Structure 1
Amino acid sequence: MKKTSRQLFLFLLFILICQIGAAQYGLEFASHNMEADRRTSLQIGAKESISFQHKLSVSFDLSFLPFQQDYFGYIFRLITDDGVNIDLLYDRRLDQDKHFKLIVGEDFTPVSFNITPLQLYYNWTPMRLELDADRQQISFVCSGKRYAYPLKRRFASQFKLVFGATVIKNFQAMDVPPMRLKDIRIGENDKPKFYWPLDESMGTKSMDAQRKNTAEINNPIWIKRQRSEWKMQSSFSLEGQASVAFDKNEETVFFVGTKRLMIGKVGGNEVRSQEYADGKLLLVNGSQSLFDPIKKSVLNISIDQKIVTAYDSTSRTWNKQFDFPAVGTNYWLFNKYFSSSDTSIYMIGGYGHFKYKADALRYHLPTQSWDSIPFAGDEIFPHYLAGMGQGRDGVYLAGGYGSSSGDQMLNPRISNDFLKLDFKNHKAWKVYEFSPAFSDRVWANSLVVDDSNDVFYGLTFPNNKFKTHLQLVASNLKSTQYQFLGNTIPFDFHDIRSFADLYYAPKSKSFVAVTLFYDDKTDLTKATIFTLLAPPLPSEQAIMPLAKPALLKYSLYALALLGLFALIWWYRKRRKQKKQAISVMVTDKIGEPHLQAAPLKETEQDKSGQLVHLPQPKKVANGFETRHGAGIYLFGGDLQIVDLAGKEITKKFSPLLKEMLLIFILYTVRWERGISSEKLTELFWSDKSQSSARNNRSVNIAKLNSLLEQLGDFRVTKKSGYWCIEPMDTVYIDYLRFSRMVSNKKYFTETEIRELLDIIDKGGFLFEVDYEWLDNFKSEMSILVLTTLGNFIENLNVQDNAELIIEICNKIFYFDEINEEAMVHKCRSLLQLGYHSLALQCYENFCQIYARLYGEAYPKSFKDCLD
């Protein structure tokens, strides 16, 4: 049971801190690809202008969408009540040296700059506008550079702020660059005033963090929603039974037809067509395409004819032609991958003439030679409709449809095997069998393998329907844990006339799904490209609430009247709640905390809202970076160490040094003194003499301190006979922050509660680390987290805090997957929000896990749980 829980924690952790892509939220702006009235705008101060005194700052994070036709437009317009406009404009004209330009009134200021394409299109760039009314100066800060400009006149201290399209009278502008925006902050006199993260997934309003001001949005495209809903990028038809290839470096999708090559860029709106200069490519049954990243060319493969032809994009010709007409194929829907290490294409499986294949083949491009690869080890199930993907140390093969004998007439079925293939040493072994959830599902052709997180992604679908759907799934490389992600993609499945594939675009941080359907009557293939922003949200969050049924006219009148009364009641309640702060009393160490509502005076409330603490870490693709610099993270599975530049350096520490660092941190924080030399010797060098142990201790502490210099003033030292870390507060340590908040404070504000949730959001406490001495620390932390969170939700009102309760319950499930109280609270909160089907699904998922762990059915019904 402990092992199962650990595996589940490992997988859930990955879903939450998936390192494919940085934190993905914000607002995307509909731009020149849409009609003027369908372009996006965000306005702050629409109903009542924002006012300030002396100094104003406006900051935000910006990025542009790649591969768009037109980038001209206004990023923002700040318009004062006396009619002064301050604009940031992107001027795309090629004859302009600098494209970002700051405008005041009707004049270009000297403030202009560029951002490198890699940064602009594939990363977030922080920007900040500063206004000093007393000195009559404007400044703009971007990429570490400050640009200053003296103003020619005074202006009003009240303003409206608009990003994107502007409809304010006398300042209308519908030119919007294809941009993304997040984390808008407004400060006054060097103090924060408003903050809009833009982390919504629906709606046309965004409330600032203090819930004091609302940003109005027209035609929003929420990035978080793009993490749960596949976006159809383009759909078109081309001649013949087409196939597809993908260049992940250039993020380009190629469609090979008989007359032309169609080319689409991930994130782009257009699909280019290249007609072949030498006539038709005579595509044969079962042929597939693949991209050669070495020669940067598209390949088309026929296993039956032992021909691989390459496309020359300059001459628009193929270097070989197939024999046509062909006599069918034995290799429909085989799996393949390109090996750069030996410049070869490896192929496996396929179907044709009532036979399923388990053959493994190799085509060596330099010598144009074919050979068969005999595999030892576990049996490869003869199949087609499997998924295959290449990892760092092997190739993985998921499922498929076939039969043990290879004969279609003899018990054909879906395979639940998940195999690892070593093509170099010709060995196959079964990693595990998929859970029953996959018993009726086959796979799209390719898997996306993420070795660093021990997970792979694939598209699955039922193969017993024509009108079916593709579902993205993430599954562990080492255990059977899995998670369905995002919503589904419509897919017409007609055996050998249909094809689906999955890719990952690392720059755009997007999954790319491609579907093909060949109509033999018209000899045309319909091709469709879908994209999903990473990291994707679990499918449960992707489900939209069902529309309520139509009611009779008088019922609607009654409901409207009730809604009005409810709105008045809510408004009064919110005003009352603003005069209170949520606080939590926590007993010493692992005592039982309880929620206590403490009415505060206005001055006390204001004071509590300005807490001083280290900022939280921000997740990035290859680890964690912190806004303040160095950090050490113990929540999230394994130890992670980040230097002053925000770069993860954990791999520089040997296993021994990592364990020693953990001991010094945990003993220093937990016991507030450190660890003795005798205890260190007992743990690490008990088999050595006293002098040898002393020497080993000195050498390894010196090595550890040498590495810790990259974190600043932070080292292991001996104090009062104990080895400890000093100074502790120069580096952000999530365990230290959590322990201090929970153990030393009597009261918690709602802000601090959310900070605790952010720390836990990465997952369990060192659950991937197995040291005997660590068990007490881990169990103590689990009890502390569960007790603290359990008492939070026990004292929160579900009518006003449903979303917060759901968030807390999700964190509880990281540490205890069958926590009955959390399940009940989450179901009640989902019902409060109107998500009836999700509440029932939450209950059913709990029952399934309960039955698996205890071998018996959960005794309470859904209704009984909620009574």
Structure 2
Amino acid sequence: MKKKSRHLFLFLLFILIYQIGSAQYGLEFASHNKEADKRTSLQIGTKESISFQHKLSVSFDLSFLPFQQDYFGYIFRLITDDGVNIDLLYDRRLDQDKHFKLVVGEDFTPVSFNITPLQLYYNWTPMRLELDADRQQVSFVCSGKRYTYPFKKHFASQFKLVFGATTIKNFQTMDVPPMRLKDIRIGENDKPKFYWPLDESIGTKSLDAQRKNTAEINNPIWIKRQRSEWKMQSSFSLEGQASVAFDRNDETLFFVGTKRLMIGKVGGNEVRSQEYADGKLLLVNGSQSLFDPLHKKVLNISIDQKIVTAYDSTSRTWTKQFDFPAVGTNYWLFNKYFSSSDTSIYMIGGYGHFKYKAGVLRYHLPTQSWDSIPFAGDEIFPHYLAGMGQGKDGVYLAGGYGSSSGDQMLNPRISNDFLKLDFQGRKALKLYEFSSVFSDMVWANSLVVDDSSGLFYGLIFPNNKFKTHLQLVASNLKRTQYQFLGSTIPFDFHDIRSFADLYYAPKSKSFVAVTLFYDDKTDLTKASIYTLLAPPLPSDQGITSAVKPILLKYGLYGLAVFTILFIAWLLYRKRRRLKKTTVSFERPDKINHELLRTLAGEDNLSEEPEQRLNKDKDTIQSVDGPKAVELVKGFDIRQGAGIYLFGGDLQIVDLAGKEITKKFSPLLKEMLLIFILYTVRWERGISSEKLTELFWSDKSQSSARNNRSVNIAKLNSLLEQLGDFRVTKKSGYWCIEPIDTVYIDYLRFSRMVSNKKHFTETEIRELLDIIDKGGFLFEVDYEWLDNFKSEMSILVLTTLGNFIENLNVQDNAELIIEICNKIFYFDEINEEAMVHKCRSLLQLGYHSLALQCYENFCQIYARLYGEAYPKSFKDCLD
């Protein structure tokens, strides 16, 4: 199993265990918010009555939906064949101190009770009805309390059971409370007889797990389906370029417009309006809203004007007004979070006036002061359209669109960086780069971080089309593992008029997505609220049927145990199949012996490195794919000096693994590039005459010679930090000597592809790893460099193109996609790569992503050639 696939498999295992613990399934009932004939009913025994002797028990788990208008209705009606009814109903009248009531015939029994709102609306409550025919009594058990009532009427031992709406003659009712139901059990004489988990996803029937007795359902709303399909809770419009804030504790959404505040509860059907008492709030471009959990206030922020205004819900006024009209903004779609520890709002990124931002700003609420926060550590990519979320150990920043320089004109691109931001220590740490699956995706504004599981959730979407979709994804906080979850959400994307955000409502156990689209012609924002029950199911989840109780109870746990054992077997099998792939062996002095010892299963390495050379080679050649690459070059990259030319600009790392590129002046960087490229490409170096022509053609011969000597001396002084690696003159040419003592990705790549037509998958994966960060020096613009860039592009395209033609899409879809993405680094309208990527996405079931890949290609083609791409999507795949 490939390393990437193994990570995904482990992640899916976690998803499985996570779902076991949460057990989110059941049936939701359409209630008073629907017409009478569209309300839900569940009927058992209507075709053939259920019989019992002596004792009967009916148990189930119940919960109510919060924030509904009307809760009156029948939870169940048990109707015997001789016409006796036993009902549990909910009486919503405020003058009643007990709302749950048990009815027999036409009489209220003394059995009545309440359930606390937190338990009733946000948790499952087990309930049980018991009939004792011998003693002629009825009991009801709820929340650990038993209520008993003497049953004075004779009743038949055959009955029908209906939950919700009832159409049985003489017992008809359409009064249904907005409830959820699961795990219906019928027992006889203290032994189980029937069991309906209600864990279906579709359909109007539910099979009993033991006796195949069928429950008939009209107008079902399956909870499991609500874990896979986003539900639009509401959609409305409000004035101005609106923004949104979320109160996690109260599960309330606030939409800030120019004339009013719109307020909606998660799970509620209504959105209420509060008009401002003091006139319009003059919203400015780029402003965003945030909820202050300490003072329970909605805030609206303008970074450009350095103003934060707060809403007073009592007076319906804002504390400050913005300067209007404003002249644009520099901070469209910035990320923000509220820090309770220091009562501050932290803001990062943003876009405006053709510039992307990477700086961190802080607004301190008590003093109403603004300041810029310097960050050390790894670089924060200038961006907008990133996702940011707060966890217990820090704040996380995912992706974004921008450019390394911050200038929109200089190679804008999508970032695959996943960073952890320590606002106390003011340090950024790059945790990893996202998989190639995310290479065309940007993020909704917020991430949901779950520290207990080590996961975060976000909404991703392509930023190169107007009619697009949001997709929920879960990913690991520490490594590249991901899973697409649920269905997609329609989203109209126009970067300065659109906004999307993601929240989590812990009491409702729901993800909440919000989309905003501003129409500047009407000056209205259309807002939509979507919910998805947690834990969400993977996208394209299949339909499940009812299983027997013993399987329901132990099956998933058994599957989890089996999966763990299966993974262990795979890892053992991997150790056994050691001689299937090989890698090149070039630098025995730089082998990571500690890692090698672990893989070889040895306790010590007593031999000297020279004595172990042959043994090391054999061990490395026996190790598969990515781990072998890590042995050969991983030690150099992570622990030794290196020079990297792929991924944009020149990057130089010293012996301690610290980047020192900034210590080199622009002239010294260009000279170093020339010495490396000429040494590797021509295997001799560059002449003094050529150096003079390139750098000092306007100077005299003696002045040019002096400049050359001084700058080479400066360069060699800096190169001492890389070890035994310097510029020297050999056979009349200036070159790097010795070239092999420092890892150079260009050198490694050139040697691997030189005079070679066929590659193993291991070698291809190493090539992909080399070019993973992007094209060859694509951010460097020297006239003399163009030939090197062209030659490298041809080498990459030819090598990867030849390899991809020999791959079977059924077995290598993910690898093909990864290769195609690398091809696009060098040729963004490579038709063969587009076709291969579309076919691979279809093979993996990502139909919409395949179509997006084709449409993106067509847009770029039309922009470059001024005409439409001649082939249809279907023609490309034929």
TM-score (norm 1): 0.65
- Which shifted more, 103-112 or 429-438? 429-438
Q: Distance in 2 between matches of 1:205 and 1:750?
A: 16
Q: What whole-Å deviation, never above 9, does each CA across 1:44-96 have from its counterpart, x for those lacking one?
A: 01111111111100000000000111110000000011110000010011110
After superposition, the Cα gap between the structure-2 partners of 1:285 and 1:845, relative to the gap in structure 1 and judged at 3 Å, is farther
Distance in 1, matches of 2:263 and 2:309, equals 18
Matches within 5 A, 1:464-613: 464-541=464-541
- 1 CA distance for matches of 2:554 and 2:66? 36
CA deviations on 1:463-484 (whole Å, 9 max, x unpaired) are 1110000000001111111000
The yes-or-no answer on 1:193 pairing with 2:158 is no
Where 1:18 maps in the other structure, the secondary structure is helix
User: Are residue 58 (structure 1) and residue 58 (structure 2) matched?
Assistant: yes
Q: Corresponding residue for 1:759?
A: 557
Q: Measure how far apart 1:200 and its partner are.
A: 0.2
SS at match of 1:174: coil
The reply to whether residue 450 of structure 1 matches residue 450 of structure 2 is: yes
Highest Rg: 1 or 2?
A: 2
Using a 3 Å threshold, how does the CA distance of structure 1 residues 244 and 237 change in structure 2: closer, same or farther?
same
- 1:246-645 equivalences in 2 (<5 Å): 246-541=246-541
Q: What CA distance in whole angstroms lies between the structure 2 residues aligned with 1:348 and 1:413?
A: 18
1:20 and 1:535 in contact (8 A); partners too: no
- 1:98 pairs with 2:98: yes
- Kept after mapping to 2: 8 A contact 1:29/1:41: yes
Residues 1:461 and 1:407: Cα distance change in structure 2 (over 3 Å): same
Going from structure 1 to structure 2, the CA distance change for 1:764 and 1:317 (only over 3 Å counts) comes to farther
What do the CA deviations read for 1:8-31 (whole angstroms, capped 9, x no partner)?
Answer: 344223322337982110000000
Q: Which residue of 2 aligns with 1:47?
A: 47
Report the CA distance between 1:779 and its aligned residue.
6.4
Instruction: Please name the residue that 2:164 is paired with.
Output: 164
Residue type of the alignment partner of 1:424 = Q
Q: Indicate if the aligned counterparts of 1:277 and 1:315 stay in contact, CA closer than 8 A.
A: yes
Q: Give secondary structure in 2 for the equivalent of 1:494.
A: coil
Q: Identify which of 840, 847, 859 aligns with 2:812.
A: 847
CA 1:61–1:312: 2 relative to 1, 3 Å: same
Deviation of residue 125 (structure 1)? 0.3
AA of the residue aligned to 2:37: D
RMSD between aligned alpha carbons?
Answer: 2.9
Return closer, same or farther for 1:777/1:511 CA change in 2, 3 Å cut-off: closer
Alignment correspondent of 2:623: none
The SS at the match of 1:74 is: strand
**After TM superposition, what 4+ stretches of structure 1 lie above 4 angstroms from structure 2?**
1-6, 749-756, 763-769, 775-780, 843-846, 849-855
CA deviation string 1:448-474 (max 9, x = no partner): 011111110000001111000000000
**Alignment pair present for 1:84 and 2:59:** no
Alpha-carbon separation, structure 1, partners of 2:323 and 2:23: 50
Written as runs of structure 1 = structure 2, the 5 A alignment for 1:120-135 is 120-135=120-135
Could you tell me how far apart the structure 1 residues matched to 2:55 and 2:122 are? 32
Could you tell me how far apart the structure 1 residues matched to 2:135 and 2:276 are? 65
1:202 is matched with 202
Are the counterparts in 1 of residues 209 and 548 from structure 2 also a CA contact under 8 Å? no
How far apart, CA to CA, are the structure 1 residues paired with 2:322 and 2:7? 49
Query: Residue 20 of structure 2 contacts residue 557 of structure 2 at CA under 8 Å; is this kept in 1?
Result: no
Q: Which has the higher contact order (CA 8 A, sep 6+)?
A: 1
Residues 69 and 20 of structure 1, relative CA distance in 2, 3 Å threshold:
farther
SS of equivalent to 1:224: helix
Given that 2:13 and 2:563 are in contact with CA atoms closer than 8 Å, whether structure 1 keeps it comes out as no
| 1:854/1:194 CA distance change after superposition, 3 Å | farther
Q: Is the 8 A contact 1:246 1:253 kept in 2?
A: yes
Q: Could you say if the C-alpha distance between residues 18 and 756 of structure 1 is closer, same or farther in structure 2, counting changes exceeding 3 Å?
A: closer
Separation in 2 of the partners of 1:776 and 1:440?
36
User: Structure 1: how far apart are the matches of 2:21 and 2:318?
Assistant: 37
In structure 2, the CA distance between the partners of 1:850 and 1:57, relative to structure 1 (3 Å rule), is: farther
- 2:117 is aligned to 117
Distance 1:126 1:461, change over 3 A: same
SS in 2 for 1:295: coil
Q: CA deviation at 1:259?
A: 0.3
**CA distance in 2 between partners of 1:140 and 1:846 (Å):** 57
The answer to whether the 8 Å contact 2:436/2:817 transfers is no
Kept in 2, the 8 Å contact 1:20–1:534? The answer is no
* C-alpha spacing 1:108/1:755, structure 2 compared with 1 (3 Å): closer
TM-score for both structures, normalised by structure 2: 0.64
| Residue 222 of structure 2: aligned partner | 222
SS at match of 1:515: strand
Task: Tell me the secondary structure at the aligned position of residue 452 of structure 1.
Answer: coil
Give the match's secondary structure for 1:149: strand
| 1:144 corresponds to | 144
1:763 Cα deviation after fit: 5.9
Partner Cα distance (2:563, 2:209) in 1: 28
- CA change 1:2–1:236 in 2 (3 A) is closer
- What secondary structure does 1:121 align onto? helix
Per the alignment, residue 70 of structure 1 pairs with: 70
Q: How far off its partner does 1:219 sit?
A: 0.4
Cα separation, 1, equivalents of 2:356 and 2:506: 34
Matches of 1:854 and 1:470, distance apart in 2: 25
Tell me how far apart the structure 2 counterparts of residues 330 and 142 of structure 1 sit (CA, whole Å).
58
Indicate the SS of the match to 2:331: coil
Asked whether the 8 Å contact 1:9–1:764 carries over to 2, the reply is no
CA distance in 2, matches of 1:21, 1:110: 37
The CA deviation at 1:439 is 1.0
| Contact 1:333–1:384 under 8 Å retained in 2 | yes
C-alpha contact (below 8 Å) 1:455/1:477 kept by paired residues: yes
Aligned residue identity for 2:50: I
Structural mapping, 1:657-668, within 5 Å: none
Give how far 1:762 is off. Answer: 3.8
Whole-angstrom CA distance in 1 between matches of 2:451 and 2:510: 17
Aligned equivalents of 1:321, 1:449: Cα separation in 2? 34
How many angstroms apart in 2 are the aligned matches of 1:435 and 1:854? 12
For 1:57, what is the secondary structure of its paired residue?
strand
Three-state SS of the structure 2 residue aligned to 1:541 is coil
Question: Which residue type is aligned with residue 57 of structure 1?
Answer: S
Determine if contact 2:72/2:91 at 8 Å carries over to the other structure: yes
| Residues in 2 aligned to 1:415 and 1:92: alpha-carbon distance in whole angstroms | 54
Alpha-carbon distance in 2 for matches of 1:166, 1:124: 23
Q: Determine if contact 2:41/2:164 at 8 Å carries over to the other structure.
A: yes
TM-superposed deviation, 1:430: 1.0
CA gap 1:289/1:41 in 2 versus in 1, 3 angstroms: same
- 1 CA distance for matches of 2:128 and 2:554? 29
Contact 1:88 1:101 in 2 (8 A): yes
Q: Work out the percentage of aligned pairs sharing the same amino acid.
A: 85
Q: Is the 8 A contact 1:236 1:527 kept in 2?
A: yes
Distance 1:195 1:345 in 2: 52
Q: Is the 8 A contact 1:31 1:178 kept in 2?
A: yes
Give the Cα separation in 1 of the matches to 2:394 and 2:30: 42
Q: Secondary structure at the match of 1:8?
A: helix
CA shift at 1:777, angstroms? 14
**Superposition deviation, residue 211 in structure 1:** 4.3
Paired residues for 1:768-783 under 5 Å = none
Give the drift of 1:754. Answer: 6.5
